[in-house]
Amino acid sequence: MILIFPPLQVILRLLVAALLLSSCGRSEQSHLLEAQSTQARQAYWQQMAPLCAGYPAKADCVDGDMTLFAGLLCVAGEERGCAMVRDSQGADGRWWRSPRRNPGNLGETHSFSRDMALGVLLYLVSSRDTGAAERWLAWIKGNRSCMVDKPGGGCLVRGPYRFCRDDSDLSCTLTPGNWALLGRVWTALGLELSAEMRWASGLDSDALWLQAKVNPLGFELHLQAVEVLLKQRLTVDQTSTVKAASILVERQPQNPFFSYLQGGGSAALQQQLLALCPDPAQGYARRNQWAWERATDGQAWRDSMGWDCLFLSKLAGS
């Protein structure tokens, strides 16, 4: 009996070790295959994604909202997104909706907006382009609206500051929350805060999760998600940011961008993107949607522009 047990123990140990090694091999192989699949699909999204004048766009050269989306691409590490935001700034410091619209916005009104400003802030945080930030603030300070004209010329009573001079619906007007958010970015860049930034400090905090709670589904709710991402990158206002991310997922649990903001990147999220986003075997449709800014019941990913999928896949893998 004494001579039998040692060999049996050795055999059992060898069997256990073999099973463990086999299991590890399968796990490593599985992870490798998943990574290869994701990389292949990212390459496809990049190949199918439209360009206009060499910059990211929706199909048919639609680039009127691209400063926002390019800022998101920049955060995810897509250099063409960073270049697009950078080249959308005019020589006077003013920002436009795309490089092709710089300057003049192709003769159209509403040359910029608060939405587009979020893309600029994402770019500034990612690139740390302090010169661009300072030129932008100088333009804002020098182009304040006028509420009451002075007889004979000039301005008697100044109005709010603004991001553009040609809006008709106050979509370029800086709110206290905008000034507070600019102040957070200026602090991160080591720049001196303006009096407006100091006055508005903290006024964007509760407003973030409150707006996430009440904003309509679609692009307006997506803007709150973009602010959450910006604050996550800045590592500021974390209590409000966590609360807002939770509300976003509660309201649209099938939106993978919102899921990322709450839980970060994961294999499950990448698999969701592979299931939703354009597949080489099936081709693509109109390429005119940034899917994550739409209510999920509309299934906007069926018309994905490609850049939205590339953005989130890169972000989730970083």
pLDDT tens per residue, range 229-263: 999 999 999 999 999 999 999 999 999 999 999 99
**What is the per-residue burial (b if ≥16 Cβ within 10 Å, else e) of 221-234?**
bbbbbbbbbbbbeb
pTM of the model as a whole: 0.89
Q: Is the pLDDT of residue 17 over 70?
A: no
DSSP string, 212-274: HHHSPTTHHHHHHHHHHHHHHHHT-SHHHHHHHHHHHHHH-TT-HHHHHHHH---HHHHHHHH
pLDDT at residue 177 is higher than 80: yes
Question: Could you tell me the domains of the chain?
Answer: 41-317 (1.50.10)
pLDDT at 127 over 80: yes
Rounded Cα distance between 71 and 80, Å, is 10
Percentage with pLDDT > 90 across the chain: 87
Helix (H) or strand (E) holding 47: helix 5-48
Q: 36 in helix, strand or coil? A: helix
Predicted pLDDT at 233: 98
- Residue 281 neighbours by CB under 8 Å, 6+ apart: none
Q: Determine the average pLDDT of the residues in 252-279.
A: 97
* Residue 14 reports pLDDT greater than 90: no
pLDDT for res 37: 87
**What is the overall mean pLDDT for the chain?**
91
| Angle, helix 256-263 to helix 307-317, in steps of 10 degrees | 20
What percent of the chain lies above the pLDDT cut of 70? 89
- The pLDDT of residue 10: 45
pLDDT (mean) for 60-80: 98
Residue 278 has pLDDT above 80, yes or no: yes
pLDDT digits (tens, 9 = 90+) for 151-164: 988 999 999 999 99
Q: Considering only CA atoms, which of 77, 99, 73 is closest in space to residue 86?
A: 99
CA distance 273 to 254: 11
Kindly tell me if the per-residue pLDDT of 25 is higher than 60. Answer: no
Beta bridge partners of 158: 146
pLDDT band at 217 (very low <50, low <70, confident <90, very high): very high
pLDDT(8) > 70: no
If you ran DSSP here, which 8-state letter would residue 128 be given?
-
Given a contact cutoff of 8 angstroms between Cβ atoms, the answer to whether 220 and 111 are in contact is: no
Helix 256-263 to helix 267-276 angle (10° resolution) is 170
Tell me the CA distances in angstroms from 52 to 85, 86, 119, 224, 286, one per residue in order. Answer: 14, 16, 18, 27, 15
| pLDDT value of position 36 | 72
Q: What is the 3-class SS of 193-210, one letter each residue?
A: CCHHHHHHCCCCHHHHHH
Q: Phi/psi at 264 (nearest 5 deg)?
A: 80, -175
What phi and psi values does residue 142 have, to the nearest 5 degrees? -90, 0
Q: Residue 189 and residue 133: Cα distance in Å, rounded? A: 9
Arithmetic mean of pLDDT, 174-197: 98
Which residue, among 155, 178, 174, 156, has the nearest Cα to 164 in the 3D structure?
Answer: 174
Residue 141 has pLDDT above 70, yes or no: yes
